[in-house]
A and B are shown apart, each in its own frame.
Chain A
Amino acid sequence: MKTDILMVGVGGQGTVLASDILCDVILSAGYDVKKSEIHGMAQRGGSVISHVRIAETVFSPVIPAGSADVIVSFEKMEFLRYLEYINDETILLLNEGKIYPPGAAGGEEEYPDKLIEEKIAIFKKAYILNAFGIADNVFNRKVTSTVMLGKLASVMDIDVNIWKNVIAEKVPSKTVEKNLKAFDAGYNV
C-alpha cells in the first residue's frame, strides 16, 4: 500500500495535528510512515504543507514531484501551490471554504476563483465539501481539520475504528466527542 498524501492549508487550521493523527493511524494499521513539514518563522496565516508517506518501507520523508496519490486541501486555493506533486491518478479532497490571503484581503490581488475551477478539472477525481459549514454545524471552525480527516478516511482502506481511537487519544480531552462527530460528518458527506 504505497500512498503519498499531501495535506495543505493555512497556518492555524490544524493541518499539523491532522497529519499527526494520520501518522498514528497508519502506524496502528501496521505500515511504515514518515511525515515532513516545515514550521519556524511565524506561520500563522502562512501556507502550511505536510507530506505523509505510507509504504512497507519509506525512505525520503518528502514526496517527490509527480508522486502524490491524494491532496487534502484544507482551504480552497491552497492546492494550487503544489501542482508539481500530482499525476494522472491523483485525487483531490477540497474544502471549498476560503481564507483570504493578505493581498487578496487588502484588495491588491484577486482570489483565484477561476483558476481553482480550471485546476480542479485536471484531477482524476475531486471531492469538494463545505468543511467550514459542516464544522460550524457540529461545533465550530476548529474541527474543520477533523471533518477533512473524515473525508480522507472514506477514501482510504483503513478500519474506521482505528481512526476514531487515534482521534480520541490525540485531540484535547474536552473536545473528543465533538471531533468524533466532525469525523463522522466528514466521512459521510
Chain B
Amino acid sequence: MEKRVLSGNAAIARGAYESGIGLVSSYPGTPSSEITDNIKMYDEIYSEWATNEKVALEVAIGSSIAGTRSMTCMKHVGLNVASDPLMTLSYTGVNAGIVVVVADDPNMFSSQNEQDSRHYARFAKIPMLEPSDSNEAKHFVKLAVEISEKYSTPVLLRSVTRLSHSMSVVDIGSRENVSRKNLDVNIPKWVMVPANARKRHFFVEDRLKNIQTDYDNDILNLASEELNSKKIGIVTSGIAYQYVKEALPDASLLKLNMVYPLPLGKIKEFSKKVEKLFVVEELDPFIENEVIAYGLNLQRLDRSLMGELSVERVSKLFKNIDFGVLRFPSEYDDIDKDLPQRPPNMCAGCSHRGIFYAINRLKLFASGDIGCYTLGLLPPLSAIHSTVCMGASISMAHGIDKGSNGEYARKSVAVIGDSTFLHTGINGLINSFYNSGTSTVIILDNRITGMTGHQPNPATGLSINGTPAPQINIETLCKGMGIKNVKVVDPFNVEECLDTLKAETAKEELSVVITNRPCIFADRSVISSPYFVIRENCTGCKACVKVGCPAILWDSEKRLAFIDETMCTGCGLCPEVCKFDAINKLGE
C-alpha cells in the first residue's frame, strides 16, 4: 500500500476524496483552511470558498438533498456562525452524507477564544468523531460519511491545531465510486415548521439513543481497549491519546474514536477491570463530566482547563499517583522571555500599514475585526482597540455611535477587511445605514483572505482554483445600498488618508472609506524596486521607524535608519513620512 506523510488537514481532504464526497464548501479559518486548500486539487470534488460558514453548511445541506455527499470545514468559532443551520439539520437529518469538520485551537495559536467544540455535538445531539493522527483523520471522514447515511445525521469531525498542523504517515487508498442519490422530496422531513419539527424531535432523541446503543454494543467499532497494568485505567481520545501512550506506556486505555455520544456501558465495563479510572482530555472536562454524571467512580484530575496537553503535562498529572511515568528535566534554561522577540507583524509592503499610520496619527478609536489587520494593534501603530469576532467592527462602531449620542462616532472608525466584510460585516453595514448611523467604516480591500493563506474571495475576481470568477465591487455595493459617502483612498498616500479620515469622521452621516491596494502576497506584480536611506540626509528622527515596517531597521550606533533591500517591496510609504528627503528609490 502506498504511504505518504500528510498533515492532518491534507489527510482529511484525502479522506473526503476516498469516501466519495462530491462537494465541499468552506470558509477559511486557522487551523482548518488547508483542508479545503487541499480539496481543490481533486477534480472529482466540486469545491468553493463560501462567504461564511453558515452559507457553507447550507450549501452542503443542499448538496445532500440533491443526493451528493458533502463536507464543510471550519475553525471552532466558524461553527458558531454555522450553528444556526446545524441545530436544525440535526432535526431534518440528511439524504446523502454530510460531514462537518471543526478544528479547535487549544492554546489559541491564532484565535480569539479557546472554546471546546465538543459541546456542539451534545447541543445539536449529533455524533462527533475525533481522530488522533493523520491516518485516522483520513479514515474517520469515511466513518463519518457511513454514520451520517446510516443514521440520517450530520456528523461532526473534530480536529485540533496539533492534529491539523502535524504530519504523520497515511495509507493511501482509492476513491469510492458512489452514484448520486435522487433529489429528496419529503416535506415532513425537510420543512421544519413546528408541526413537522415536533415529530422530528422524537427522531433526534431516538437516533441519539440508537447510536449510543450501537456504540456500546460494538456495532459501531469505535472504541478500542488496550489492557496493561490494572492499577490505572484511562479513558482518552484524539491527540490526548498520543500523549497518554508516551507518558504512561503501562496504563490500561480505553480509546474513544467517537466522543459524543459516549459508550457509557463500555466505559463501565472498562472501569471494572482497573483499580482507578481517569479521563485524560484537553480543554473542558467534557468526557469526565458525562462519566461522573453517569455515576461511575472516576478520579477527577486536577488539571488546568487552559491550553494544550503534552507528554510532560500528562506525566505531571499522574506524578502524585504512584505510577511509572517518564521523568523530565525539572529545571532548564528558560531564557526565551529575556531574548529579543519576533512578534508577528504586518509584512513589508503591507497595504494596511498606511491607513493604520493615519488612524494612529489622528488618535482615532479603531473598532477592529478578524484578519491580518488585527496586527495593527501592535506598537508602534497601536491602532486597533477592539476585536471580538468576524464582522463585529461595523456593528460595534454603530453601537459606539448610538451609545454616545454620536460623540464618539466623531473620534472612531470601524476597520474591516474585504473578506470579513463579505463574511458578516455587510449585515452590520446595512444595519448602520438603516438605523441612520453616523460612524465611519474603513474597508481594507486587499482583494484576498490574507491571514489564513491567501484564499480568494468574492472581491478577488478568482475562483478557488484560480480561474476567473465574477468580482464584487465593494464601492458599487456600498453605493448601491444607498450610502452617500463612499470614498476610495490609496492607503500609501498618507496625506489623502489623513484628510479623508478627518473629513469623514467629522460628518454626522454614515461614511465608508475603501482602501484600494492589493495584498503584497496576492499580487506580486505590485512589487517594485526597493528604497534606500540617503545617510547624509537622515537626521535620525525615527519618523520612518514609526510606520512599523519590518524592512526599516535602526542602526543604534550611528543613530540612522536603514532599509533592508531584500525585504523592501518599494511600496513608497516611508518616503511619504520622511520630512528630510532621506529615502529614495534605488535606480532613481
Please tell me which stretch of A80-88, A144-152, A156-164, A176-184 contacts chain B, meaning at least 4 of its Cβ atoms lie within 8 angstroms of it: A80-88
Could you tell me the distance in whole angstroms from the C-beta of A72 to the nearest C-beta in chain B? 17
Contact residue among B110, B168, B375 (Cβ-Cβ distance under 8 Å from A33)? B168
At the interface, yes or no: B202 with Cβ under 8 Å from chain A? no
Residue of A nearest to B326 (CB): A64
**Can you report 7 residue pairs joining A to B where beta carbons are below 8 Å apart?**
A40-B31, A42-B375, A47-B341, A62-B310, A65-B332, A81-B335, A101-B341
- CB contacts (< 8 Å) of B556 on chain A: these are 107
0/1 string, A53-64, CB within 8 A of B gives 1: 000001111101
Could you tell me the distance in whole angstroms from the C-beta of B370 to the nearest C-beta in chain A? 11
Contact residue among A10, A62, A80, A122 (Cβ-Cβ distance under 8 Å from B336)? A80
At the interface, yes or no: A105 with Cβ under 8 Å from chain B? yes
Could you tell me the distance in whole angstroms from the C-beta of B417 to the nearest C-beta in chain A? 13
Contact present for B332 and A40 (CB under 8 Å) = no
Complexed CA–CA distance, A8 and B242 (Å): 23
Contact present for B554 and A107 (CB under 8 Å) = yes
Could you tell me the distance in whole angstroms from the C-beta of A40 to the nearest C-beta in chain B? 3
0/1 string, B435-477, CB within 8 A of A gives 1: 0000000000000001100000000000000000000000000
Given A45-B550, A46-B342, also A84-B332 (CB < 8 A): yes
Which residues between 90 and 125 of chain A lie within 8 Å of chain B, taking CB atoms? 100-107, 109-112, 115, 119, 122
Residue of B nearest to A77 (CB): B339
Residue of B30, B166, B243 most packed against chain A (CB within 10 A): B166
Complexed CA–CA distance, A101 and B246 (Å): 36
Contact residue among B3, B162, B335, B344 (Cβ-Cβ distance under 8 Å from A36)? B162
Complexed CA–CA distance, A11 and B326 (Å): 33
Contact present for A34 and B166 (CB under 8 Å) = yes
**Interface bracket on B:** 35 or more
Contact residue among A32, A37, A44 (Cβ-Cβ distance under 8 Å from B169)? A32
In addition to A35-B168, A41-B375, A59-B245, 14 A-B residue pairs with Cβ atoms within 8 Å of each other are A23-B167, A33-B5, A36-B165, A38-B161, A42-B375, A44-B550, A59-B311, A64-B311, A80-B339, A84-B329, A102-B340, A103-B341, A107-B556, A122-B333
Contact present for A66 and B328 (CB under 8 Å) = yes
- CB contacts (< 8 Å) of B335 on chain A: these are 80-81, 83, 115
Contact residue among A44, A105, A115 (Cβ-Cβ distance under 8 Å from B554)? A105
At the interface, yes or no: B77 with Cβ under 8 Å from chain A? no
Residue of A nearest to B132 (CB): A59
- CB contacts (< 8 Å) of B336 on chain A: these are 80-82
At the interface, yes or no: A17 with Cβ under 8 Å from chain B? no
Main secondary structure of the interface of A (DSSP, over half): loop
Contact present for A65 and B312 (CB under 8 Å) = yes
At the interface, yes or no: A39 with Cβ under 8 Å from chain B? yes
At the interface, yes or no: B43 with Cβ under 8 Å from chain A? no
Contact present for A102 and B243 (CB under 8 Å) = no
Contact present for A64 and B328 (CB under 8 Å) = yes
How many A-B pairs with Cβ below 8 Å? Answer: 155
Residue of B110, B168, B343 most packed against chain A (CB within 10 A): B168
Residue of B328, B329, B346 most packed against chain A (CB within 10 A): B329
Contact residue among B329, B372, B553 (Cβ-Cβ distance under 8 Å from A42)? B372
- CB contacts (< 8 Å) of B243 on chain A: these are 59-60
- CB contacts (< 8 Å) of A137 on chain B: these are none
Contact present for A45 and B555 (CB under 8 Å) = no
Residue of A nearest to B521 (CB): A44
At the interface, yes or no: A189 with Cβ under 8 Å from chain B? no
Residue of B133, B167, B334 most packed against chain A (CB within 10 A): B167
Contact residue among A23, A37, A112, A141 (Cβ-Cβ distance under 8 Å from B339)? A112
Which residues between 1 and 34 of chain B lie within 8 Å of chain A, taking CB atoms? 3-5, 30-31
Contact present for A44 and B109 (CB under 8 Å) = no
At the interface, yes or no: B545 with Cβ under 8 Å from chain A? yes
Given A45-B342, A102-B342, also A61-B242 (CB < 8 A): yes
At the interface, yes or no: B345 with Cβ under 8 Å from chain A? yes
Contact present for B342 and A84 (CB under 8 Å) = no
Contact present for A43 and B333 (CB under 8 Å) = no
Complexed CA–CA distance, A72 and B292 (Å): 46
At the interface, yes or no: A27 with Cβ under 8 Å from chain B? yes
Could you tell me the distance in whole angstroms from the C-beta of A157 to the nearest C-beta in chain B? 20
Contact residue among A32, A33, A103 (Cβ-Cβ distance under 8 Å from B340)? A103
At the interface, yes or no: B347 with Cβ under 8 Å from chain A? yes
Residue of B nearest to A107 (CB): B556
Contact residue among A20, A33, A60 (Cβ-Cβ distance under 8 Å from B311)? A60
Which residues between 132 and 174 of chain B lie within 8 Å of chain A, taking CB atoms? 133, 161-162, 165-169
Given A10-B342, A42-B345, A45-B345, also A24-B5 (CB < 8 A): yes
Contact present for A40 and B333 (CB under 8 Å) = no
Contact present for A27 and B5 (CB under 8 Å) = yes
Could you tell me the distance in whole angstroms from the C-beta of B454 to the nearest C-beta in chain A? 11
Contact present for B344 and A43 (CB under 8 Å) = yes
- CB contacts (< 8 Å) of B344 on chain A: these are 41-43, 45-46
